[in-house]
Amino acid sequence: MASQLSRIMRPDDANLAGNVHGGTILKMIEEAGAIISTRHCNSQNGERCVAALARVERTDFLSPMCIGEVAHVSAEITYTSKHSVEVQVNVMSENILTGTKKLTNKATLWYVPLSLKNVDKVLEVPPVVYSRQEQEEEGRKRYEAQKLERMETKWRNGDIVQPVLNPEPNTVSYSQSSLIHLVGPSDCTLHGFVHGGVTMKLMDEVAGIVAARHCKTNIVTASVDAINFHDKIRRGCVITISGRMTFTSNKSMEIEVLVDADPVVDSTEKRYRAASAFFTYVSLNQEGSPLPVPQLVPETEDEKKRFEEGKGRYLQMKAKRQGRAEPQP
């Protein structure tokens, strides 16, 4: 099963560098995934449901998309477990004047079907038919791996970003930023919960502010590490999206983004962690070429620990890229 969305990129989709905002692309990716997974989960007779985003695997921004180009977002279901759907999404940009097309993004998303009668009830997913047995086995390995990683991120749920008075430049406190947003009807599905794509766009905006404050240049999203959605966000909640720098290499910055939801219209519920992720940004000059990044100065023991963890993620991904680039014997 596959589907495709297409949309021309308008001036209001631009970032400060003049290309399409990374958050806009993330939102389109999620919309395509939600459509195909919801369609599949309702393909058999039974209780009707809507597919909710649970996780986005690492997403690389392979090439910038320009204003005036057409974005073609194609989605395909590649694996189903008993209660989840894996969707692979590719984004192509098309210059409609020249006909030139290029791949700009690849992403993997995981959805769970929630009952329309009771959104806290997770339903079973209709199985897909695989052309090869290896496809199912490979999908099961990916499912188990992402499930383990989701469990490992939950320990961060109590961590919060605290403001600091008069911070020094290049420190974590100097660039950390927060955005407060009241969840309205336009942010939500028909069932009163925030679209995953809306949350991802807000997260990208906050991460971009942190990166710009740190290096004071044009910045662009280079990649997004796994985004984990820990709980649903209801209409009427006030959400706080907080970002802080965790690691810098010579030419990139890693920013941790945390989303907390406060159900202000329901006094019986407490504030909770709704989502978390790591974004990677690069600094650009006026011509769009990469610039060196000012090195982060971690001060506290927690900041030093997060810096070393970020360094580990950076080196691990660097090794993977070099492994793919090496010629095969």
Active site residues: 15, 204
Task: Report the C-alpha gap between 93 and 61 in whole angstroms.
Answer: 12
Q: What secondary structure letter does DSSP report for 172? A: H
DSSP reduced 3-state for 204: helix
Distances (CA, A) of 242 to 62, 161, 179: 26, 7, 7
- Which of 281, 125, 149 is CA-nearest to residue 215? 281
Contact criterion met (CB below 8 Å) for 218 and 266: no
Tell me the one-letter amino acid at 109.
L
Which residue, among 235, 165, 163, has the nearest Cα to 198 in the 3D structure? 235
Token digits for 128?
Answer: 């897909």
- Answer whether 54's CB lies under 8 Å from 111's CB: yes
User: How far does Cα 221 stand from its chain's mean position?
Assistant: 11
Q: Tokens in use for 158?
A: 């109590």
